[in-house]
């Protein structure tokens, strides 16, 4: 088992969530939705932005939505740009395409797209390009401490 997947499983301990190994890659929201057999908006995209101070911010976005950089910057209180792959891996411990909303090496402020709360079950990356976990939106909110906010385009 990969270290990334193991960290996610530890983070999910005691929470009603199911880790699923998929038969194909789930690096993108369309791939994940196809593999899970769900609506694209049930996929949680973990999008990391980096502030001018170097701090990272995590935006948990419904699969069909895009993060609006200006709205995200307003929430963070500083100008934001997309974090590069090396920074994402160093700070979170995950490679892009498998970034989970839980199990990060370094905690980051995070926000959740309201659209994700419209579903009974959502699916998020579990640390690898072939693993997802299913969870109720309220359980993910409680687990991560994310704030629901309007930050999509």
Kindly tell me if the per-residue pLDDT of 113 is higher than 90: yes
**Structural domain harbouring 11:** 3-133+142-149
Taking alpha carbons only, the member of 85, 139, 131, 89 closest to residue 112 is 139
Average pLDDT rounded to a whole number, residues 98-114: 96
Express each pLDDT in 75-96 by its tens digit: 999 999 999 999 999 999 999 8
Q: Mean pLDDT over all residues of the chain?
A: 96
CATH number for the domain that contains residue 58: 3.90.960.10
User: SS in 3 state form for the chain?
Assistant: CCHHHHHHHHHHCCCCEEEEECCCCCCCHHHHHHHHCCCHHHEEEEEEEEECCCCEEEEEEECCCCECHHHHHHHHCCCEEECCHHHHHHHHCCCCCCCCCCCCCCCCCEEEEHHHHHCCCEEEECCCCCEEEEECHHHHHHHHCCEEECCEC
Work out the pLDDT band at 97, boundaries 50, 70, 90. confident
Kindly tell me if the per-residue pLDDT of 62 is higher than 90: yes
Please tell me the predicted confidence (pLDDT) of residue 78.
97
Taking alpha carbons only, the member of 28, 4, 41 closest to residue 122 is 41
Check: CB of residue 102 under 8 Å from CB of residue 92.
Answer: no
Please tell me the predicted confidence (pLDDT) of residue 6.
96
Domain count, the chain: 1
Work out the pLDDT band at 27, boundaries 50, 70, 90. very high
Check: CB of residue 151 under 8 Å from CB of residue 113.
Answer: yes
Please tell me the predicted confidence (pLDDT) of residue 1.
81
The pTM (predicted TM-score) of the whole model is: 0.95
């Amino acid at each position: 088992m990969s270290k990334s997947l193991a960290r996610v499983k530890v983070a999910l301990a005691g929470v009603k969530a199911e880790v699923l190994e998929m038969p194909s890659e789930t690096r993108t929201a369309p791939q994940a939705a196809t593999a899970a057999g769900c609506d694209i908006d049930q996929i949680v995209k973990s999008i990391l932005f980096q502030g001018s101070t170097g701090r990272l911010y995590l935006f948990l976005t419904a699969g069909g939505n895009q993060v609006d950089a200006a709205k995200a910057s307003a929430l963070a209180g500083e100008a934001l740009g997309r974090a590069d792959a090396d920074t994402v891996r160093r700070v979170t411990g995950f490679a892009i395409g498998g970034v989970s909303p839980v199990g990060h090496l370094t905690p980051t402020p995070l926000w959740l797209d309201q659209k994700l709360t419209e579903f009974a079950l959502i699916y998020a990356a579990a640390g690898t390009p072939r693993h997802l976990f299913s969870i109720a939106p309220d359980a993910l909110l409680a687990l991560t401490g994310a704030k629901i906010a309007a930050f999509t385009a």
